[in-house]
A and B are shown apart, each in its own frame.
Chain A
Amino acid sequence: MTDLLFGLNWPQLAAALMLASTPILLAALGELVVERAGVLNLGVEGMMILGAVAGFAAGVETGAPLWGFLAAALAGAGLALLFGVLTQLLLANQVAAGLALTLFGLGLSALVGQGYQGIKPPPLARLEVPLLSEIPVLGPVLFRHDPVVYLSLLLVLATALFLARTRAGLILRAVGEDAAAAHALGYRVVRIRLLAIAWGGALAGLGGAHLSLVRVPQWTEGMTAGAGWIALALVVFAGWRSGRLLLGAYLFGGITVLQLNLQAAGIAVPVELLSMSPYLVTILVLVIMSSGRARAALAAPADLGRPFHAAA
């Protein structure tokens, strides 16, 4: 076992970790903003997979991965707005609507992806940060990634600043804490929530496209394999704070990469046990975070998942 662990190429693993974490990090960042606005969108998996196929298709058709990412963001936001219309305007149950989004997204993505199985997407150039990428060991780990990896890190910072420091962020949090009170102050709760939902969808779509265009990179049906659900769990793990989200995403990225490498290394543990480990660890972390003292430290938005209608 120890031989095996020392035998692994750790710097390469660390670089792979950042790559593997990016899809769930992006999706979770979007969902974090949505939940801070008081909306529980369980459709992350559906938006991710639609983003994955839309990004892949657009990337292949245009030959430019960046168009792919744009298409993925738009597709994710579009699907999210469907959820937004149902829950915010038609006041549908958020849990049911989120599930519908996932089921529909899985079906629609399979339909759209018919002709794209087994194709290689155009490669996305790595952005090698000058000078920094030359640093031994750390350089290749940290500074030789595709632009979306850096974008995700930038978004972690931006989300934190937006929520803590800007007036728009304050209003968004207020809407998530008590929609009725925010409405009484004259803020447009439904509009703010719809914007947040669309933003969450766009990021989930980006995350999906990163999966299909960069990480794998190809299109297969159901390729997100629960990444959207893990992203939802991560938001709970992070206590609705973006800094801790980064930690959580990299932790899970690490587990994924490690178990894949252990599988490849032919370790004497059943492949299936390794494959299920990310899900088991997610459940374990959820349990730890939601129980006892840890729960008190969590600051779930008070109005999370509650419907709001302005007619008082």
Chain B
Amino acid sequence: MPPAGRVLLSVEGLTKAYPGVLANDAVSFAVAEGEVHALLGENGAGKSTLVKAIYGLVRPDAGRMTFRGRPYAPAEPRAARAAGVAMVFQHFSLFEALSVAENIALGMERPPPLRELGRRIAAVSRAYGLPLDPLRRVGDLSAGERQRVEIVRCLLQDPKLLIMDEPTSVLTPQEATILFHTLRKLAAGGTAILYISHKLEEIRALCDAATILRHGRAVASLDPRRHGTRALAELMVGASFAPPARAGRAAGPTVLAVEGLTLAPAGGFGRGPGEVSFTVAAGEILGIGGVAGNGQDALLDALSGERPSAPGAVRLNGRPVGALGPAARRALGLSAAPEERLGHAAAPDMSLTENALVTAQVRERLTRRGFVDWARTRAFAERVIARFDVRTPGPGAAARALSGGNLQKFLIGREILQRPVVLAVNQPTWGVDAAAAAAIRRALIDLAAEGAAVVMISQDLDELLEIADRFAVLNEGRLTPPRPTAGLSLEEIGLMMGGAHGMHEIAGGPRRETGPAAPP
């Protein structure tokens, strides 16, 4: 552990308001040189706004910052970078059609010629154990490799402070371990790291200090290694923390059977198209984990019917439905809730009433001879709003006007109230506040208790282990055989997830075919 050095960055009374929200309310904290400092908080606690202010993307309304002892108020990211602040975003700012070297050049103020840049990329990636081929197209890289591009881009500028926004959300546990290794190496070299996360375990494993944000306020600054996960969680959520208990149930007959479903990759996985086979019984929740971009969206589309397959590849109560479209499947009781709320599950500019019609037309009989019964549709929307505690002025509000959590409650509720036989959901609690996430998980458990089969695709392992009866991992378009959740250890899950992508040089994994060619 590096000794707590001099103060590198200090933030005092930083305030930023958006219409209707106080994103940061007089936040103060300090980061020391060579320190790995966690910024811990729920979704919506104000972490992103805070680091955007530090990185010059947001101009604070009040408050002051100092960096390396001098007043610091970056007007734009360029100024922040010039001062020695670099940032790796959660959603990468990478250009898929451009090469690794071109991407890195775009992130630099005065990049050397591309050939020289390639040499420097190779040097830095060797030094920190981040293998990268400068000439590869970023569109062909895995999520872990893309993160490496971002990190190398930052490191080439020799930053004094590196901000990392939820970096492990796209990584397997093994890849995360390697990332931690890199970050510690950096910190030992004197670079401070501001590490944003809501994952308590990794913060306790990695960070020297932590600032906890809640509702825009810094509620505590402490040493995370000296506090238990539960204490940190309570500081973060602001109330005592009780995971929903799940009563064991006997599974009913199989209702959904998926057999030999191919999820032909859009961008191309390392290996050829894999096959997915599984069954789900009535009253059962099947949890499907895995890192994003491994076929999750394709699997949900194949279940919803947006992606037709061979008729027998998807069977509902024994009946082949693989060739049916979404409306026909819904009529039979196979419903789905996709990950992307705005634009896929809902039309952002349309009202909640209109969005209710999107999936409930057939099962709720909202049309008569093709004419929409708007009164009935509105009543259905109102039922969803009431039953799932959706905070909104009314069913006439546009979908985009709702917060993430409220909209998701509405969308999941829209499917649940139609009493589906099978409900497939993808990332139902992503970007949703803790209370709404708990309500959604509760609703899914209740749905299963009433006899529906639930397929839950998620990247949140804790959530899956909490509510799923069986667990499987989707990796490069292939699904591992599902295993009962009870008694599954983190190591076993890590193995199911297939280890690190392209990290064999370090991890010594046996599968070499997905790795990029190591730079000379």
Contacts and interface: CB of A to CB of B under 8 A. Distances in A.
> Do chains A and B directly touch (beta carbons under 8 Å) in the complex?
yes
Contacts of A171: 106
Given A167-B105, A170-B106, A177 B98 contact: yes
Contacts of A302: 96-97
Given A173-B97, A186-B77, 10 more contacts: A170-B98, A171-B106, A174-B95, A181-B92, A181-B94, A184-B89, A185-B77, A186-B78, A186-B81, A301-B97
Contacts of B107: 185
A170 B108 CA distance: 12
A178 interface: yes
A299 interface: yes
A163 to B, nearest CB: 12
Contact of B95 (A167, A181, A186, A312): A181
B93 A181 contact: yes
Interface of B: 56-57, 76-78, 81, 89, 92-98, 102, 105-107, 111
A184 to B, nearest CB: 4
Interface string A200-230: 0000000000000000000000000000000
B102 A170 contact: yes
Given A170-B105, A171-B106, A177 B76 contact: no
Contacts of B78: 186
Contacts of A177: 95-98
23 contacts: A167-B111, A173-B97, A173-B98, A174-B106, A177-B97, A177-B98, A178-B95, A181-B92, A181-B94, A181-B95, A184-B57, A184-B77, A184-B89, A184-B93, A185-B106, A185-B107, A186-B56, A186-B76, A186-B81, A187-B106, A299-B97, A302-B96, A302-B97
Interface of A: 167, 170-171, 173-174, 177-178, 180-182, 184-187, 299, 301-302, 312
Contacts, number: 48
A273 to B, nearest CB: 41
A308 to B, nearest CB: 14
Of A170, A171, A185, A312, most buried by chain B (CB within 10 Å of CB) is A185
A177 B93 CA distance: 11
Contacts of A170: 98, 102, 105-106
A181 B92 CA distance: 8
A171 B78 CA distance: 15
Main secondary structure of the interface of A (DSSP, over half): helix
A296 to B, nearest CB: 12
A302 B107 CA distance: 19
A177 B107 CA distance: 15
Contacts of A167: 105, 111
Contacts of B102: 170
Contact of B98 (A174, A185, A187, A312): A174
Nearest to B77: A186
Contacts of B93: 178, 180-182, 184-185
A55 to B, nearest CB: 36
Contacts of B76: 186
A185 B56 CA distance: 11
A312 B106 CA distance: 21
A181 B57 CA distance: 12
Contacts of B105: 167, 170
A299 B137 CA distance: 13
A167 B108 CA distance: 11
Of A178, A184, A301, most buried by chain B (CB within 10 Å of CB) is A184
For the complex of A and B, the 6 pairs showing the least CB-CB separation, nearest first, are: A181-B93, A186-B77, A184-B93, A177-B95, A186-B78, A177-B97
Nearest to A312: B57
B87 to A, nearest CB: 9
A299 to B, nearest CB: 6
Nearest to A188: B76
Contacts of B106: 170-171, 174, 182, 185, 187
B400 to A, nearest CB: 14
A170 B62 CA distance: 37
Contacts of B57: 184, 312
A118 B111 CA distance: 56
Contacts of A178: 93-96
Nearest to A173: B98
A144 to B, nearest CB: 40
Nearest to B48: A312
Contacts of B89: 184
Contacts of B111: 167
Nearest to A301: B97
A170 B111 CA distance: 12
Nearest to A187: B106
Contacts of B98: 170, 173-174, 177
